[in-house]
Amino acid sequence: MVPARLLPETRTAWAKFDIKSDDWMPLWRHMADSAAVAGLLWDRWLPSNVRSLVAAALPGGMSDARRLAVWLAGMHDLGKATPAFACQVDPLADRMRAVGLEMPSRQMMGRDRRIAPHGLAGQLLLQEWLEVAQGWPARSTGQLAAVIGGHHGVPPDDVQIVDLDRRPDLLRTPGSSEPVWRRVQTDLLEAGADAFGVRSRLADWQTVRLPQPVQVVLSALVIVADWIASNPDLFPYAHVGRTRTDDERVAAAWRGLGLPDPWRPAEPSGPVDELFRARFALPRGAAPRPVQAAAVHLARAMPQPGLMVIEAPMGEGKTEAALAVAEIFAARSGAGGCFFALPTMATSNAMFTRLLSWLDRLPVRDGARLSVLLAHSKAALNEDYSELLRASWQPITAVDLDGDGGDGAGSPPRPGRGNDDRRAAAELVAHRWLQGRKKGMLSSFVAGTIDQLLLAGLKSRHLALRHLALAGKVVVIDEAHAYDTYMNSYLDRVLSWLGAYRVPVVVLSATLPADRRRALAEAYVGVPAGADGFDPVQDTDTYPLLTAVAPGCAPRIVAPAASGRRTEVVLEPIADDPALLADRLVEELAGGGCALVVRNTVDRVLETAQALRERFGAHEVTVAHARFIDPDRAAKDADLLARFGPPGDEAGRDDADGRDDADGPVDRSRPPRHVVVASQVVEQSLDVDFDLLVTDLAPVDLVLQRMGRLHRHARGVGQADRPERLRTARCLVSGAEWKTQPPEPVGGSQRIYGAHALLRSAAVLNAHLDGTSVPVRLPEDINPLVQRAYAGALIGPEAWAEPMQQARAAHDDLQARKHMRAETFRLGAARRAGRPLIGWLSRGVGDADDTRAGLAQVRDSDESLEVLVVQRRADGTLATVDWLADGRGGLPLPTDAVPTSKSAKAAAACGLRLPWHFSRPESIDRAIADLEANYVEAWQVKECHWLAGELILVLDGDRRASLAGYRLDYSDSEGLRVHRDQ
């Protein structure tokens, strides 16, 4: 905008005010800054697939799309030229009154101002101008104007619009000043139409019907542009130093911001084996597994990138296959990044390390900087990510353009993770501006928990930003079988939006039920359940299996060849008695060997470990479960990998691509005899290998996952390096009373999984447990067992029928209630093109995002309490727990001052999720009250962000505490034990 061409009255309208300095920013200036930023975001930061999505909806294609985005960003604060906004600062309001813009005082306006928030006011003013001055039909104006109405995170709803329509005095003061207000508002609208280049296009746009996904990404782009243009460090209210032109002002801000580039990959076109050697450092002479090669060929053959579901056994390299497909999909679609969604923080941390390794090998254009993020609440405690945060630090402030690179086209090079060959690898940065709950997902490459994806289906403030973040990426969903009905309700809705955005998606699973495969495909394509043409997706019985779907294309089914990796597992039911199990393991391990015992509850883990230690000694029994503080949990995982991981250099890799060598090196760290007793933490993402497995009865897919830790790697020809008795893979199944008809699972297992899933699992495994010694063949039997267990048909002996039908009825009732609960705050499906976003987030959860409240909405589980564990020393002062390694143990935590950053961070690392005992309705309030007794006022400040707002559990010098009527004992070898007070 050119101020000289604006009316004098218009130039008095204000947008920003600094109460400390009395500096202010004219409204026209902020509008011009926002438009300029939007143009730079469009040209230099927005992935090309998002730009193409918008362009496809407009008659002038890409040119129209850029103009529309810039214009909407420029006009977003139009509603500040109203009495309801302008009255807030008396000196600035007086300036406006002096030129005829009369308005009541803020005190006189009172609470009525809330009826006219400036976003909604701007929406109605723009709609009025389009209809009256530009001749648009009223029904066409809302789809554009709602972008302005929602630029503070939530589009207005119909009630808000009606309420403001009834109060025109909030938009223009009645009387003699009303025409002056109208002139100012029209002046801004007319000037914007000229300055932002849309004047000649408005007539053609009035017949456009914008799809809702386009409205969402435009809304998000306007929000980002507004946030950047509102940063006074980038766009100061007053000129500092020499006078700058508008172009210099914007260039200085853009250079100071230094946003990293989007990923712009070229499609890898060479042979598949060359691609895998280049990206994943395959050993010399090794070739990709058949599943991996088939996935790449299918990605290249699809008419357009869409949804690919990769189902293959554990250890077949699904992760690497997904990354290879993601690179191809990104190149073909124009995606600018990748998001890898995993079940837990631990699996996200592991994936982040692998993601960085992959990124280091990606070829990119010279000098490219790519933004990366670890997306979960404890990301800053991850060493790889915190290292990137330190190396990537930069001030966010406008820079002097007199130095090198004064065109503002980029940022100076900064230290990062990338190697020294800029032609071969990008500089990876954890960008300072792209931090926090709202903006983090806008980074190009993200590894995080599945919650970060499911939140895209939760009606919450600034949801458009999360949609923009996903719309510009390839999305990979790992362990797709691991989510329940409640989470799947959100996942399916998110997939429907991803399909509408044309976002490529890769889904990974070793044990995916056929009906879930079909539901995922139908959700993505946007067809109703049971749609014609999707029967083959559900009916196929091949395995491994690749399924590909895309809007407008028939599903494609590919059955890759088997890799040759094969194990036969002999199953045997055993009584659920720790003493009998100890006797049996003494017998089985008489000649040495390593056994894994998997229990479904931590209490059963600890009970079993105690019985086994009485027979084997403490040094031959290791415990692993989720009731350890985070550093101890990480140390446990590292220890398991070091001692029970694959031979050679494959250790630490789940789905590893290194190839087993029957004559390879013997793993010297593997103990001659040992028993690991673990909970579900060993089911996934730990590449551990045992000679014998004992497992509680669990849903069949989880039993199969646990079997994937049995004889996982070749140890000598024909497993000759294993003890002779254990060269045949065997799995002992406990956790049930096998003599009853049907078997009766133990109570803890029923509480976690439900009787229905456990009885279906027992029924499909019955042929292998009835004494005939028919082995389970991996991978051949994985798919048949899973599909039979999750199909609707009756299974099992006739004597089991009535109890199983009762369990099924209870299960169906529970699932229906879960689905209904998920509907409460779940985002609706994308509506017809042209339907405005008005009311899009009505009756939502508010400002949730990655908070406890937000995550509780997308996971249907009992509320769990997470605490930070500290220790009280003999003198009564607090300190970090004394057993921490690396100099972090025993650091003082003063209660009358802010602790040192090192001490606070060490304490924050010691997170522990309390067990179910403290989540029950009768105990949770008391537990919270007891924990809040440890509240430290001095820690509740910004400078102590590691500890502020956290619940603190204080252990004494013997690592004990009392909480809500329970005694707690903690051991770095046993974890947390819970005993009821006598």
Between 957 and 381, where is the model more confident? 957
For the purposes of burial, counting CB atoms within 10 Å of the CB of 652, is it exposed (0-12), middle (13-18) or buried (19 or more)?
Answer: middle
Average pLDDT of the chain to the nearest whole number: 90
Class of domain 3-238: mainly alpha
Q: How confident is the model at residue 412 (pLDDT cuts 50, 70, 90)?
A: very low
- Residue 656 confidence (pLDDT) above 90: no
Arithmetic mean of pLDDT, 846-856? 56
Q: Which pLDDT value is given to residue 402?
A: 47
Q: How confident is the model at residue 856 (pLDDT cuts 50, 70, 90)?
A: low
Look at the block and give the residue holding tokens 């299974």.
795
Per-residue pLDDT band for 418 (boundaries 50, 70, 90) equals: very low
Angle, helix 318-333 to helix 290-301, in steps of 10 degrees = 10
Q: Which residue has the higher pLDDT, 911 or 430?
A: 911
The reply to whether domains 286-558 and 567-778+792-806 share a CATH topology is yes
pTM, two decimal places:
0.91
Work out the average pLDDT over 558-572: 89
Task: Determine the pLDDT at residue 246.
Answer: 81
Percent of the chain with pLDDT over 70: 92
Q: CA 58 to CA 70: how far, in whole Å?
A: 14
Distance CA 918, CA 978 (A): 10
Plot region of 949 (φ>0 → left; ψ -120 to 50 → alpha; else → beta): left
Q: Enter the tokens of residue 893.
A: 């935590």
**CATH code at 567-778+792-806:** 3.40.50.300
pLDDT for the residue numbered 390:
85
Range scoring the smallest mean pLDDT among 536-540, 746-750, 830-834: 830-834
**263-267, 453-457, 712-716: least confidently modelled range:** 712-716
Nearest by Cα to 952 from 969, 938, 935, 972: 935
Amino acid 415: pLDDT: 37
Contact between residue 166 and residue 98 where contact means Cβ atoms under 8 Å apart: no
Q: What is the structure's pLDDT at 566?
A: 84
- Rounded Cα–Cα distance for residues 497 and 536 (Å): 24
- The answer to whether 308 and 547 have CB atoms below 8 angstroms apart is yes
Output the pLDDT for position 654: 43
> Please, which residues have CB within 8 angstroms of residue 345's CB and are 6 or more apart in sequence?
376, 377, 378, 449
Q: Taking the domains of the chain in order of start, what are their residue ranges?
A: 3-238, 286-558, 567-778+792-806, 862-980
**Quick one: pLDDT band at residue 851, thresholds 50, 70, 90?**
low
Sequence-ordered list of residues with C-beta below 8 angstroms from that of 699, at least 6 positions apart, any chain: 753, 757, 758, 760, 761, 789
Res. 295: pLDDT tops 90: yes
Of the listed ranges 116-120, 643-647, 701-705, 807-811, the one predicted with least confidence = 643-647
User: Residues 6 or more apart from 871 whose CB is under 8 A from it?
Assistant: 878, 879, 880, 881, 882, 890, 954, 955, 956, 957, 959
Confidence of residue 713 (pLDDT cuts 50, 70, 90): confident
Q: Which amino acid is at 781?
A: D
What are the two backbone dihedrals, phi and then psi, of residue 907, each rounded to the nearest 5 degrees?
Answer: -70, -40
Percent of the chain predicted with pLDDT > 90:
75
* Residue keyed to tokens 């093109």: 833
User: What is the C-alpha R_g of the chain?
Assistant: 31
Statement: residue 25 has pLDDT above 90: yes
pLDDT exceeds 90 at position 37: yes
pLDDT of residue 664: 44
- Comparing CA positions, the residue from 180, 145, 133 lying closest to residue 75 is 145
Region 301-324 average pLDDT = 94
Residue 196's identity, in one-letter code, is F
pLDDT in tens, 352-371: 999 999 999 998 876 688 99
CA within 13 Å, CB half, 807: 23
Q: Which of 854, 49, 842, 54 is nearest to 456 (CA)?
A: 854
| pLDDT score of 420 more than 70 | no
Query: 286-558: which CATH architecture?
Result: 3-Layer(aba) Sandwich (3.40)
Reading phi first (left if > 0) and then psi (alpha if -120 to 50, else beta), residue 763 is in alpha
Mean pLDDT, residues 833-851: 79
Two structure tokens written together for 654: 């789940």
pLDDT greater than 70 at residue 889: yes
Which pLDDT band holds residue 407 (cuts at 50, 70, 90)?
A: very low
Residue 426's pLDDT band, with cuts at 50, 70 and 90, is low
Of the two residues 886 and 240, the one the predictor is more confident about is: 886
982: confidence class by pLDDT, cuts 50, 70, 90:
low
Would you say 670 and 642 are in contact if contact means Cβ atoms under 8 Å apart? no
Position 530 confidence tier, pLDDT thresholds 50, 70, 90: confident
Beta pairing class for 673-678 and 975-980: unpaired
Mean pLDDT for the stretch of residues 781-788: 93
